[in-house]
Amino acid sequence: MARIVMKFGGTSVADLDRIRNVAARIKREVEAGNEVAVVVSAMAGATNQLVAWCAQLSTLHDAREYDSVVSTGEQVTSGLMAIALQTLGVKARSWQGWQIPLETDLAHGKARIEHIAGERLLASMRSGEVSVVAGFQGIGPDGRITTLGRGGSDTSAVALAAALKADRCDIYTDVDGVYTTDPRIVPRARKLPRIAYEEMLELASVGAKVLQTRSVELAMKQRVRVQVLSSFDDGTSLGGDLPGTLVVDEDEIVEKEIVSGIAYSRDEAKLTVRGVPDQPGIAAAIFGPLSAASINVDMIVQDVSADGTTDLTFTLSRSDLPRAMKVLEENKAKVGFATLAADKAVAKISVVGVGMRSHAGVASTMFQTLATKGINVQVISTSEIKVSVLIAEEYTELAVRALHTAYGLDA
Ligand code: ASP
Ligand code: MG
């Protein structure tokens, strides 16, 4: 017998037929003798609609009311799933965040989980009842409903698995696992049987959006074994050889690949600040105001100075570009730069793998491969387990395909 948290994303509960299918799958886990807590997302598209309604009424809406509106998508699916389970003869009840309670901080719209009291859920599970938890939502110190940020029901599930000391946290989604790269670009991409938390974090933050980044951080911190799997295969292997991808500690991966995956992100822009005086305090003068405006900067390069001035180039999220330019223009006198040059037609390509720690030559293979294809590298950044380059956006597919082959990842 195992204690399992099963989380179903929006596409898995998109309509009543799918909810019935999911209920049947949960029933199989219960009949196998397991204690089950279920976390559900809102039906596909429901949250977008709720968010749009708030925005249409007011661009500066009260974040507490936003939470009270957008949390309802999950309230609906948790109740429907409990009904579907009961219809199949499975004892079940729904739980809203505040009923558990799942306590968060006060950051309405992007709250962080602070504490989950597992006792009531555990008592209900021990009595043979399936707990169907509304994902994405909690209760703040102000006693009001909070939500965890878009994609947050992954984080609800992982946090619940940690609080309930579950043996597994199974995340059912519309893909059947984590791939070496996006199969839409590289049809010969392979599904990874296992991936290390750290690799998953790098892949998630550079654009492979299978799990909410925060959920992976939490899983790594709390050592929750996360299994990503499809809610659309027939599920005969449930409980045995699970067919998806297991996200686990690096030590559990015996055959460490040097490169496990290639990620790309088109949500990038490049900003060059030209003609800044090459003297102490300039980087602080540029990046201080940006961070004060909550603008995240990613890759940074600074040229050697020729005539006492230098150029400083950095990348940021494309949607932040207009704000970043405004902030810098406002600080032009203080920084003392000459001009700003922006480029939105860029993409970031990253190769990721924990095996890189103990292997040389990963970066040079990357540069060589891109050179052979005539792709110019504009900015480079590295970490212990990642090499990223910024290139012209039009070469994204070509670069991903070429690198996938170069690192021997093709199926
Ligand atoms: N329904 C929420 C969203 O779309 C939370 C989730 O699905 O994870 O962001
Ligand atoms: Mg999701």
Digit-coded pLDDT (tens) for 122-161: 999 999 999 999 999 999 999 999 999 999 999 999 999 9
| Shortest-distance atom of ligand 1 to CA 150 | 9
pLDDT of residue 230: 86
pLDDT reported for residue 266: 93
Look over the chain and give the mean of its residue pLDDT values, rounded to a whole number: 93
One-letter identity of residue 397: E
Q: Report CA(51)–ligand 1 centroid distance (Å).
A: 11
Contact between 258 and 407 under an 8 Å Cβ cutoff? The reply is: yes
Tokens of 143: 């006693």
Give the ligand 1 atom nearest the CA of 10: 7
b/e for 246-281, b at 16 or more Cβ within 10 A?
A: bbbebeebeebbbbbbbbbbeebbbbbbeebeeeee
Beta bridge partner(s), residue 146: 138
CA distance 367 to 380: 10
The closest alpha carbon to 88, from 21, 11, 40, 134, belongs to 21
211 alpha carbon – ligand 2 mean position (Å):
6
Please choose from 145, 153, 216 the residue to mutate so as to test ligand 1's pocket, defined by most ligand atoms within 8 A of CB.
153
Ligand 1 site residues, Cβ closer than 6 angstroms: 9-10, 41-42, 47, 73, 135-136, 150-154
Query: Token pair 């043996």 is at which residue?
Result: 167
Q: How far apart are the first and last CA of the chain?
A: 36
- Residue 371 CA, ligand 1 centroid: distance in Å: 40
State the distance from the centre of ligand 2 to the C-alpha of 359, rounded, in angstroms. Answer: 34
The string of pLDDT tens digits covering residues 384-404 is: 999 999 999 999 999 999 999
Backbone angles phi, psi at 3, to 5 degrees: -105, 125
Question: Considering only CA atoms, which of 171, 165, 277 is closest in space to residue 229?
Answer: 171
Q: How confident is the model at residue 175 (pLDDT cuts 50, 70, 90)?
A: confident
Q: Which atom of ligand 1 is nearest to the CA of 136?
A: 5
Q: Ligand 1 pocket: which of 113, 150, 174, 213 to mutate (most atoms <8 Å of CB)?
A: 150
pLDDT at 305: 80
For residue 9, report the distance from its CA to the centre of ligand 2, in Å. Answer: 6
Q: Name the residue with the closest Cα to ligand 1, atom 5.
A: 151
| Partners of 168 in the β-ladder | 4
Would you list the DSSP string of 345-393?
EEEEEEEE-GGGGG-S-HHHHHHHHHHHTTPPP-EEEEETTEEEEEEEG
CATH number of the domain at 262-406, out of 3.30.2130.10, 3.20.20.70, 3.40.50.2300, 1.10.40.50? 3.30.2130.10
Mutate which of 11, 47, 74 for ligand 1? The one with the most ligand atoms within 8 Å of its CB, which is 47
Nearest alpha-carbon partner for 339 in 290, 286, 276: 276
pLDDT tens readout for residues 181-221:
998 899 999 999 999 999 999 887 666 678 999 999 999 99
pLDDT, tens digit, 9 for 90 and up, residues 91-104: 999 999 999 999 99
61 token code pair: 């809406």
Determine the average pLDDT of the residues in 318-334.
95
Q: Model-level pTM?
A: 0.85
Q: What is the pLDDT of residue 307?
A: 86
- For the chain, the domains span 3-250, 262-406
Which residue has the CA at smallest separation from atom 9 of ligand 1?
Answer: 150
CATH of span 3-250: 3.40.1160.10
The 10s digit of each residue's pLDDT in 243-282 is: 789 999 988 887 778 999 999 999 999 999 999 999 999 9
Give 179's strand partners. 191
